[in-house]
Amino acid sequence: MIDLDDVRKRPDAYQKAVGDKWLRLDVRAFLELDELRRGKIRNIEEMRARKNKVSKEIPNMKGGAKEKALADMKTLAGNLKKTEEELGKIEETWLQEQYNLPSIPLPSTPIGKDAKDNVEVSSWGDPKAILKVKNPKDHVAIGEALDILDIPRGVKVSGPRNYFLKGDGARLHLAVLRFTMDRLAEKGWTIFCPPLMAGYDCFFGTGFFPGVDQENIYALGGQTEKGAPIEGNGLHLIGTSEVPVCSYHKDEVLAEKDLPKRYAGMSACFRREAGTYGKDTKGLYRVHQFDKVEQVVLCRANLEEALALFEEIRTNAEEVLQALELPYRVVDVCTGDMGKAKVKMQDIETWMPSRNAYGETHSCSYLGDFQARRLNIKYDAADGTRLFVHTLNNTCIASPRILIPLLEIFQNADGTVTIPEVLRPYMGGREIIGASC
């Protein structure tokens, strides 16, 4: 949700954001509708005030004056009803257009259409030097040979883009998640195991509904191809714990001294992957169910503070990858790839030998007060004002996608896989995944 007073003051800035984010919205046409709405509201308030005033006067009237007043009231009531109906139709369009207003990205954001226009800003590790084998296998071949991954039976049970992790595959998956949670807990973050279902208001509040993201969310009770629920109970399966964790303080007023809030939600996540048919269909890159540790931050309405926290949460994710010894790069996400709600966004892409390229494994976002306005989360500032908090989020780790580089980079010539040292305490002290171990 956008501050409409700011839109009215800076329509050209918002129209530029619309164009830069490849959205379709005429901001000035919206503002004309906004002014029409406000005019109708003023008319209604005036008519209601007139109606109340005359209603109090009529009992004291007599004769023709009373008859005329009653006739005037009847006409006024008709005009009021008609204007209220007109306002209802206007507000329906006004709300839909308002939901499409984007946040203005920071000036440092690259202007571009899609992921091809994202800009690398840093990297860590040497992707080629770290490989121990000359002809590396992909993670599917490795997992099947070690009997730790079974995709065919996952498909048999649940359809395409599903899988079973078995034995040391399941243990490695859990080890990565537990290691990440422990790292964040040591830094003072509050760990959440949130609900895996949330209501429409939480998805709306975090910016996933309405819009294209809705098509990727499972509605309980079923849904149409466009993502609309069918005979459901209003709940949807979460695609990220950002939804319930960010909604944790919905409709609350926080104390400034308690900010920032540093939360980390560990949960299963579910995505329909609508519109990706034929894309990344092999293996674990794009699946319907996965687990993720998501950092969520609520802070004061202060850009400098928010950007410092942005660096903090991205660095937390980088430190996990460095501890796992996985080469990666950080990219500034361009305007057309960042979504309407984001003010600043960076992705972390980890090297995946089977793709001979970096693959996205983490996403870091700053959303200003966009989510807080929708979720109605405020705080009482020291100067006596009540402000909306600002929100940030970051994927600290997501599995099984991270298993792709783990298995492929640390495979050995004999078919075994070396377990990164930091994960060994979570694997019973094991150093190698292999048939002989």
Above 90 in pLDDT, residue 60? no
> Does pTM top 0.85 for this prediction?
yes
Q: Please indicate, yes or no, if residue 308 is contained in any of the structural domains.
A: yes
Above 90 in pLDDT, residue 55? no
Residues identified as active-site: 271, 286, 360, 363, 401
352: nearest Cα among 362, 341, 343, 360:
360
User: What's the mean pLDDT in 258-275?
Assistant: 93
Q: Based on the domain organization, do 416 and 318 belong to the same domain? A: yes
pLDDT recorded at residue 69: 83
Q: Based on the domain organization, do 331 and 417 belong to the same domain? A: yes
Q: Based on the domain organization, do 93 and 121 belong to the same domain? A: no
Confidence of residue 437 (pLDDT cuts 50, 70, 90): very low
pLDDT in tens, 354-395: 999 999 999 999 999 999 999 999 999 999 999 999 999 999
* Single-letter amino acid, residue 13: A
User: What's the mean pLDDT in 58-83?
Assistant: 87
Q: Please indicate, yes or no, if residue 171 is contained in any of the structural domains.
A: yes
Q: Please indicate, yes or no, if residue 187 is contained in any of the structural domains.
A: yes
Q: Based on the domain organization, do 304 and 243 belong to the same domain? A: yes
The tally of domains found in the chain comes to: 2
Q: Based on the domain organization, do 39 and 153 belong to the same domain? A: no
Q: Which of 99, 126, 148 is the last residue of a domain?
A: 99
Q: What is the mean pLDDT of the chain?
A: 93
Q: Please indicate, yes or no, if residue 104 is contained in any of the structural domains.
A: no
Q: Which of 70, 99, 128 is the last residue of a domain?
A: 99
pLDDT in tens, 318-337: 999 999 999 999 999 999 99
pLDDT recorded at residue 192: 97
Q: Based on the domain organization, do 252 and 357 belong to the same domain? A: yes
User: What's the mean pLDDT in 96-112?
Assistant: 95
**Phi and psi at residue 16, to the nearest 5°:** -65, -40
pLDDT in tens, 13-40: 999 999 999 999 999 999 999 999 999 9
58: nearest Cα among 45, 47, 74:
74
Structure tokens at 195: 């609900």
Q: Please indicate, yes or no, if residue 109 is contained in any of the structural domains.
A: no
Q: Based on the domain organization, do 21 and 157 belong to the same domain? A: no
Q: Based on the domain organization, do 230 and 283 belong to the same domain? A: yes
> In Å, how far are 212, 276, 283, 347 from 279, measured between CA atoms?
18, 5, 11, 19
pLDDT in tens, 152-166: 999 999 999 999 999
Above 80 in pLDDT, residue 58? yes
Q: Please indicate, yes or no, if residue 429 is contained in any of the structural domains.
A: yes
Alpha-carbon 357 to chain mean position: 25
Q: Based on the domain organization, do 79 and 138 belong to the same domain? A: no
Q: Which of 66, 99, 132 is the last residue of a domain?
A: 99
pLDDT in tens, 391-428: 999 999 999 999 999 999 999 999 999 999 999 999 99
Confidence of residue 54 (pLDDT cuts 50, 70, 90): confident
Above 80 in pLDDT, residue 228? no
pLDDT recorded at residue 62: 83
Please confirm whether the linkage preceding 420 is cis (ω < 30° from 0). Answer: no
pLDDT recorded at residue 359: 95
Q: Based on the domain organization, do 202 and 273 belong to the same domain? A: yes
Whole-number Å distance between alpha carbons of 426 and 246: 29
Confidence of residue 227 (pLDDT cuts 50, 70, 90): low
Confidence of residue 72 (pLDDT cuts 50, 70, 90): confident
Min mean pLDDT across 71-80, 175-184, 213-222, 315-324 is at 213-222
User: What's the mean pLDDT in 37-65?
Assistant: 89
Range of the domain at 369: 115-433
CATH number at residue 40: 1.10.287.40
CATH number at residue 360: 3.30.930.10
User: What's the mean pLDDT in 177-192?
Assistant: 98
Q: Please indicate, yes or no, if residue 110 is contained in any of the structural domains.
A: no
Q: Please indicate, yes or no, if residue 106 is contained in any of the structural domains.
A: no
User: What's the mean pLDDT in 287-304?
Assistant: 97
Q: Based on the domain organization, do 136 and 95 belong to the same domain? A: no
Q: Based on the domain organization, do 21 and 136 belong to the same domain? A: no
Above 70 in pLDDT, residue 223? no
> In Å, how far are 8, 64, 416, 420, 424 from 431, measured between CA atoms?
61, 100, 10, 8, 6
